[in-house]
Structure 1
């Protein structure tokens, strides 16, 4: 008898989405291979593939889903979806179909410089922001879109472009920014340390699937080559591409903004989203879950049930359609612990971890630089995905860490579970034998056998310090939600090498960590109120 036409259409879309995500994840789908399945999907899903003129006439490859059974002159809210970094224009087909079935016009387009779209990769620069407005122009002129009900959403690169577009174009009334960034510098250069594994992955994917602009090529050469003479130029380049730079414009335009990210995002860590959220003066929502970059929402791209996409549609339903679905009455901060079950709601970010436990760092510790002690933050995209699905974060045997290369402090055993929520802060005093250096701080949950599970970490780099002269260091570790079982300890470990980062330790450098009586060293760990 066979499947009905709608079932065939949905099956085809889901299969196509599955192939897309698998291909993108392993870098196997060349640009020429993408065209054939896209054509097949267009026939099965009745989706219209189009050329959209972007800024300066640059052709952007896109697709349009429209509600079925639309009457002449009928208008619908519209959602514009810029694609993720290095992913073809068919990325959102499964979600676009769902949105169209619920009454939206959906226009997705391949960001400039990638795949068959024209132009060069500008990394959410002015041409990309202008492209978003040109796509909105085209959507209003060529579809049944209601010009007063325009939303934008995207994953990763598409999230950043959506936020930037909302700051520059008042027509954007609602945003769903999933696994994106608010501060590009804080994302890949936090603690003045290059996140080399993340930046290298993005650069390589850009060359494989698109055409990096000459400016981008030079920026990445200087960034990965540690060209400190160009540091301020690189920072200015990143600030121009950071939604946080345009906070005043966003607050003036007042689009409804939903931010969603993963605790272990190794490309865009959650701290910068949380800070940005706290400064927004718009209708807003922040969701943080276990996982790594884009892993929390990945199943939704396959057309499978997914909390991130479900809440994104609820957000649009309320703010574009006026649906009374309670999302505006829920607590605006929604967190899911890496180690326990359901969601926790909070009124704002500062309410997440109001209590603290403090670990004093009283003992003076000395270590030699340039050697990886075995404590590390894992592998980009992989380690925190394993934590999400298998509850297996990076681990280290704390008693076996070589104390020549790692400084270690531990708390006492906790009589009750410690629910860590928010941003752990380190304050210490450092003396270096060299003017430059890098340290990486790790917070571990240590069980009875001494095996530590990574709770959080962060890098810190210094330059131009006087050798032998002590200086203070204040470092925020990446925000998280993690439950430490009763009977366990917390351990702070500091070493100088981590595969995720470029280190700046000269040969033979030694670091000393002390705790002056007038300025004691400590780790402050935020806890959920019981």
Structure 2
């Protein structure tokens, strides 16, 4: 591992430590004010005898023969068992028994971090068993929910335990490898955050330490094993089980999620055949849910309660009749609704990438995807995405194509797709594509991006590249241009460009290069 990667990991550990301590203190605030529903802190025996620290919140006055729907909430990566207490109180007010527990390997729960492995899914079933034996929970009405790590575990548990009828997976993943190894490119900042949080708040298993080491070192010999390891921990692998169980699944994510990008959720959503709902909003990983975790009004958690109320309590709140796909664009305030994901982009625009352009590798041109968490949070709260001044991008290190000025607003919805021909001078390499909204003065605001890495190519021999950029919802104002920029270095990713490498992008007559931009009709 290079010294810059070691420094990044060290910085991430410190940042994560401060964030977790501050976040934990904030989570206590609303609970300390008043707790109208009974709360018990309990030990639950998980898989293999591992002790899981949990808390149980029941409706006020619960007792007798009355049975209540059960909600099980596994904690997020690195957060303690009090994470959901504010929401648990509100859910108990609505008539739920709520059990939240610290997943194995973190804080005071036993065991080691398994990264949503078989023991984690077995733990979820043991928690359900415990709740049915020790609380007034109804075995016929069981749901699971969680943020981030808790979201992934909830989906996996529902696939393996048919008692789980309803899931709300907030800022989670459906494809673990597709998230942090998109385009065969390691998302180093995302991995550093997860690694740092795991080291600060938990106990990493030997297997996990080995996976991180191989990931950072770009160990291609271990790539098939790492992909298999990730697939076993990906809900997409078990989508047939969820469909067979008829599980009602709500998915919510942020456009700028730098840990679990939105494409892997939208692809998974399309494969679900049971009751389902997809909600996308501005922000970064888990940032849309933060206010709700503090007990404040929050549309993500409000819709989560409506989802459970409808499917577990039979409440006629209309959510079953609503269009299931709800999107909040990054550049405007209101929600848009669609019958399915395919309907989001009714049309598309193709921008030709003519000519032949050669760039040198190993230098950051100034175009990049920003900083994990920080950049997308700024976009969420102030509509300030990562920016660059397109006219000054050094053409030696960045390939740049621009459209003409658009006469009308371009409402981009979905994933732009790049098709081009690349001729490398080395067998391996990395390129990163960026789509910018360029104003009249040349300032470019990042619309979307995605990395792509190749290995084992013959130097001097061209090959085709098809790259799907991360999905988004962004309005490009009239009078602006769209620009596609491609370079070879981005702080978000580990790059694989040997010293002295060059990449040539061409547009053969029989296979022209272009970028397709998905658009909503005006």
The 3-state SS of whatever aligns with 1:428 is: strand
C-alpha contact (below 8 Å) 1:34/1:88 kept by paired residues? no
Matches of 2:346 and 2:105, distance apart in 1: 45
- Over 3 Å counting, the alpha-carbon distance change for 1:479 and 1:36 in structure 2 is closer
Q: How does 1:474-485 map to 2 (within 5 A)?
A: 474-485=466-477
The aligned counterpart of 2:393 is 401
Structure 2: runs of 5 or more not aligned: 1-14
Q: Over residues 332-357 of structure 1, what are the superposed CA-to-partner deviations in whole Å (9 max), with x where a residue is unaligned?
A: 10000000121111111110012001
Pick the aligned partner of 2:189 from 194, 197, 200. Answer: 197
Pick the aligned partner of 1:61 from 48, 53, 61. Answer: 53
The 3-state SS of whatever aligns with 1:171 is: coil
Q: Over residues 48-82 of structure 1, what are the superposed CA-to-partner deviations in whole Å (9 max), with x where a residue is unaligned?
A: 10101100110000000000012311100010000
1:529, distance to aligned residue in structure 2 (A) = 1.6
Task: State the TM-score, normalizing by the size of structure 2.
Answer: 0.95
Matches of 2:426 and 2:193, distance apart in 1: 31
Q: Over residues 354-405 of structure 1, what are the superposed CA-to-partner deviations in whole Å (9 max), with x where a residue is unaligned?
A: 2001110002111000000000000001100100000000000000001100
Matches of 1:181 and 1:235, distance apart in 2: 15
Matches of 2:28 and 2:474, distance apart in 1: 45
Tell me which moved more, 508-517 or 39-48.
Answer: 39-48
C-alpha contact (below 8 Å) 1:166/1:250 kept by paired residues? yes
Tell me which moved more, 267-276 or 349-358.
Answer: 349-358
2:320 equivalent to 1:328: yes
C-alpha contact (below 8 Å) 2:27/2:83 kept by paired residues? no
The 3-state SS of whatever aligns with 1:187 is: helix
- Over 3 Å counting, the alpha-carbon distance change for 1:55 and 1:42 in structure 2 is farther
RMSD: 1.9
2:130 equivalent to 1:162: no
The aligned counterpart of 1:379 is 371
- Over 3 Å counting, the alpha-carbon distance change for 1:380 and 1:448 in structure 2 is same
Task: State the TM-score, normalizing by the size of structure 1.
Answer: 0.93
Pick the aligned partner of 2:486 from 494, 498, 518. Answer: 494
The 3-state SS of whatever aligns with 1:111 is: coil
The aligned counterpart of 1:509 is 501
Matches of 1:463 and 1:79, distance apart in 2: 46
Q: How does 1:147-158 map to 2 (within 5 A)?
A: 147-158=139-150
Structure 1: runs of 5 or more not aligned: 1-21
Matches of 1:158 and 1:253, distance apart in 2: 20
Matches of 2:440 and 2:355, distance apart in 1: 22
2:435 equivalent to 1:443: yes
1:288, distance to aligned residue in structure 2 (A) = 0.2
C-alpha contact (below 8 Å) 1:80/1:152 kept by paired residues? yes
The aligned counterpart of 1:140 is 132
The aligned counterpart of 2:208 is 216
Q: How does 1:186-265 map to 2 (within 5 A)?
A: 186-265=178-257
1:149, distance to aligned residue in structure 2 (A) = 0.3
Structure 1 moving runs of 4+ over 6 Å: 22-25, 33-45
1:23, distance to aligned residue in structure 2 (A) = 8.9
Pick the aligned partner of 2:414 from 403, 422, 440. Answer: 422
The 3-state SS of whatever aligns with 1:310 is: helix
Matches of 1:91 and 1:246, distance apart in 2: 28
1:43, distance to aligned residue in structure 2 (A) = 8.0
Matches of 1:313 and 1:239, distance apart in 2: 30
2:163 equivalent to 1:171: yes
The aligned counterpart of 1:26 is 19
The 3-state SS of whatever aligns with 1:296 is: helix
Matches of 2:29 and 2:307, distance apart in 1: 31
The 3-state SS of whatever aligns with 2:287 is: coil
Pick the aligned partner of 2:69 from 51, 74, 77. Answer: 77
C-alpha contact (below 8 Å) 2:38/2:60 kept by paired residues? no
1:41, distance to aligned residue in structure 2 (A) = 8.1
C-alpha contact (below 8 Å) 1:423/1:526 kept by paired residues? yes
Matches of 1:47 and 1:433, distance apart in 2: 64
Matches of 1:519 and 1:189, distance apart in 2: 28
C-alpha contact (below 8 Å) 1:42/1:49 kept by paired residues? no
1:461, distance to aligned residue in structure 2 (A) = 0.1
The 3-state SS of whatever aligns with 2:165 is: strand
Pick the aligned partner of 1:368 from 331, 349, 360. Answer: 360
Pick the aligned partner of 1:86 from 59, 72, 78. Answer: 78
- Over 3 Å counting, the alpha-carbon distance change for 1:25 and 1:360 in structure 2 is farther
The aligned counterpart of 2:112 is 120
C-alpha contact (below 8 Å) 1:124/1:241 kept by paired residues? yes
Q: How does 1:259-274 map to 2 (within 5 A)?
A: 259-274=251-266
